[in-house]
Amino acid sequence: MTSPGVSDNQPDYSARRPFNPLDKANLGVSVADALIARPPSELLPKTTFEGAGVYAIYYFGDCPLYEQISGENRDGQLCRPIYVGKAVPKGARKGGYGLDSPPGTVLYDRLSEHASTIREAKSLNLADFACRYLIVDDVWIPLGESLLIERFSPLWNLVIDGFGNHDPGSGRYGQRRSRWDTLHPGRLWAGKCQPHAMSKGQIEAEVKQLLGDSGD
Contact 197, 176 (CB under 8 A): yes
Which of 112, 133, 158 is the last residue before a domain boundary? 158
The per-residue pLDDT for range 188-209, each reduced to its tens digit, is 999 999 999 999 999 999 999 9
Coil/strand/helix, residue 135:
strand
Count of structural domains within the chain: 2
Please tell me the distance from the alpha carbon of residue 114 to that of residue 118, in angstroms, as a whole number: 6
Residues 169 and 140 in one domain: no
Q: pLDDT grade, residue 59 (50/70/90)?
A: very high
The secondary structure element, H or E, covering residue 53 is strand 53-59
Q: How confident is the model at residue 170 (pLDDT cuts 50, 70, 90)?
A: confident
Residue 203 sits in the same domain as residue 179: yes
Same domain, 147 and 205: no
Span 152-170, average pLDDT? 94
Residue 16 maps to a domain: no
Q: Determine the Cα angle at 47 with ends 32 and 162, to 5°.
A: 55
CA angle 195, 198, 110 (to 5 degrees): 65
Same domain? 78 vs 139: yes
Same domain, 167 and 72: no
What's the predicted TM-score (pTM) here?
0.84
Q: How far apart are CA 12 and CA 9, in angstroms?
A: 8
Q: Which of 144, 146, 49, 139 is nearest to 101 (CA)?
A: 139
| Nearest in space to 136 (alpha carbons), one of 166, 97, 163 | 97
The domain that holds 121 is classified in CATH as 3.40.1440.10
Same domain, 180 and 213: yes
